Amino acid sequence: MTILDIAGVHKWYGDYHALRNVSLRVDAGERVVICGPSGSGKSTLIRCVNGLAAHDAGEIVVAGETVSDDPAALRRIRTRVGMVFQDFNLFPHLTVLQNCVLAPMRVSGLSAGKARDMALALLDSVRIAEQADKFPGQLSGGQQQRAAIARALCMQPEIMLFDEPTSALDAEMVKEVLDIMKALARAGMTMLCVTHEMAFAREVADRIVFMDEGQILEVADAQTFFTDPGHPRTRVFLDKISL
């Protein structure tokens, strides 16, 4: 069953053509990794999925809802799409727990008690339950990113977007975040993941999308992508990064 359908999407930043006729279909439960050099439009693409960036042409349908500039429709989509950012973007003036219960209470209308129980359970699943009452600034980068994942999961999303979730982390903390993401993948979460972690992509991804200069150059299953890439640009890319 298709849960995300991106069809013929274009996006311009001024005169710069950031997304050029991008089409991609993601099934429920599928794990898709998007990779490519910087400036290739990977982040822009996933930011279009929940409307943080507005596409200029084409259509994006998320779980039956079309992405438009209608605020109510956008909010409905955003409650079903979780997003994790490169710089965590936890709210620094709220505790980890408050970060997690904010949207469930305000947007989903959960009671304080229910939201708290769910948040604590999810914080436990990302193994930082004991940090619940601390402020983000008191946590390590890896802990903050795990808290951010828990915060997104608290909305019980049907699809999770990851925008280079490990790029801002110290080398020693990358693994703890990737482990959580792997566990999430095993649990059957639909994931659309922009990352440079090729080992992670190889282990987790059902399909790998390779982008360059705003276009999708290649979509392949992980095995084919790494061993027998079709597009010459993909081969150059894979040669340049160390595996």
Output 71 or 113, the one with its CB closest to other proteins.
Answer: 71
Classify residue 130 by burial, with Cβ atoms within 10 Å: 0-12, 13-18, 19+: exposed
Neighbours of 171 (CB within 10 A): 7
Bridge-based pairing of strands 31-35 and 159-163 is unpaired
Closest approach, Cβ 50 to other proteins, in A, equals 6
Write out the residues near other proteins by the rule CB under 8 A. 50, 52, 71, 75-76, 78-79, 81-83, 85, 87, 89-95, 102-103, 106-107, 135-138, 148, 151-152, 155
190: Cβ contacts below 8 Å, ≥ 6 apart: 3, 4, 26, 27, 28, 29, 30, 31, 158, 159, 160
Shortest Cβ distance from residue 151 to other proteins (Å)?
7
> Residue 91 Cβ, how far from other proteins at the closest point, in Å?
6
Minimum CB separation of residue 137 from other proteins in Å reads 4
Instruction: Name the minimum Å distance from CB 174 to other proteins.
Output: 20
For 121-150, the DSSP string reads HHHHHTT-GGGTTS-GGGS-HHHHHHHHHH
Residue 130 has which token pair? 């004991």
Question: Both tokens of residue 220?
Answer: 């392949």
Nearer to other proteins, 79 or 224 (CB): 79
Residue 135 Cβ vs other proteins, minimum distance, rounded to whole Å: 3
What is the CA angle 42-45-199, rounded to 5?
A: 35
Q: How far is the CB of 194 from other proteins (least distance, A)?
A: 14
Residue 67 has phi, psi (to 5 degrees) of -75, 120
> Is 199 buried (19+), middle (13-18) or exposed (0-12) by CB count in 10 A?
exposed
Q: Tell me whether residue 94 or residue 238 sits nearer to other proteins (CB atom).
A: 94
- With respect to other proteins, which residue has the nearer C-beta, 85 or 225? 85
Compute the residue count for the chain: 243
Of 67, 36, 64, which is closest to residue 52 (Cα–Cα)?
Answer: 67
